[in-house]
Amino acid sequence: MKAIQVKHVGGPEVMEEVELAVPEAKGSDAVIKIAAAGVNFIDVYYREGRYKAVVPFVPGQEAAGEVVAIGPNVTDVKVGDRVAYTMVLGSYAEYASVASDRLVKIPDGVNYQQAAALMLQGMTAHYLLYSTYPLKKGETALVHAAAGGVGLLLVQMAHQLGARVIGTVSTEEKAKLARQAGADEIILYTQTDFEAETKRLTDGKGVEVVYDSVGKTTFEKGLNVLRARGYMVLFGGSSGAVPPFDLIQLSQKGSLFVTRPTLAHYVVTRQELEERAGAVFGMLVGGKLNVRIAHTYPLKDAAQAHRDLEGRKTTGKLLLLN
């Protein structure tokens, strides 16, 4: 089978297309013929070495496809099932072997591309809004990268909850997309200081929560726009890692909360995984969620997909197709 392999960490150029053996179905694993694989910033972190993996490895943590073989201990799925998964390394390939208890069945009305686009980013938006900081009607949230893959889903879900959404974006094109998703206010951070503008938009009161996937360049100012006892939810670092800081700042700025969540800890059990994925797929089927697939690439162009993602040239979801 064709696969993308990283033999040593570095830039996008370290990803090479190679021929590997199709995995066998063993134990409680199922072999998936991958139709679409999601491209996410976590893939960049692994490629760069920020997150550790034993080299050589096949990157990618999200895919959708058909079960073509199952191990002798598998009871969750059967051959022919349409399934999707995330948080399992190795999706930049034509086939992958995945523990069957990490697979969720794709409901009718959802295609492979939509499923691959929703597993990581859709469930991320869901746990951020419903679990990490349960956003309530009438509250105000600041969403960075509001036109990104997670951002557009976050904005839609927050809007449906009845919250006021302030989104930051870099261009007018992205501002339009975020507004269409339901953002009440848009800040072009390339033209306006988001700290000052957020304070102005909230009459100096600040916001209840900041959902921040950017990190290094936004974190400190993000703390400054939180209300007393507000939540900084840092779930990514597209601009780089946040440097160490003195925790006394949290009390000085209003007894603030800071959390650095990741999806893996919000889908620990199979029940939680099925419930969260089911909720997100249900929103899509019910017409309450629009998934913007920004661009698709053949598997061999994975490096270009990473360049586009890191260059912030994209809005919505990027997929690799087989």
Which residue, 190, 186, 245, 235, is CA-closest to 214?
235
pLDDT in tens, 85-113: 999 999 999 999 999 999 999 999 999 99
Cis amide bond preceding 243, omega within 30: no
Residue 124: per-residue pLDDT: 96
110: left (phi over 0), alpha (psi -120 to 50) or beta: beta
Averaged over successive runs of 10 residues, the pLDDT of the chain (322 residues) comes to 97 97 96 97 93 96 98 96 97 98 96 97 97 98 94 97 97 95 96 97 98 95 98 92 94 98 95 97 96 95 95 83 97
Q: Which helix (H) or strand (E) holds 239?
A: none
Residue for token pair 């080299």: 55
Q: If you ran DSSP here, which 8-state letter would residue 21 be given?
A: P
For β-strands 164-169 and 140-143, DSSP reports them as parallel
Q: Identify the structural domains of the chain with CATH numbers, from first to last.
A: 2-119+291-321 (3.90.180.10), 137-260 (3.40.50.720)
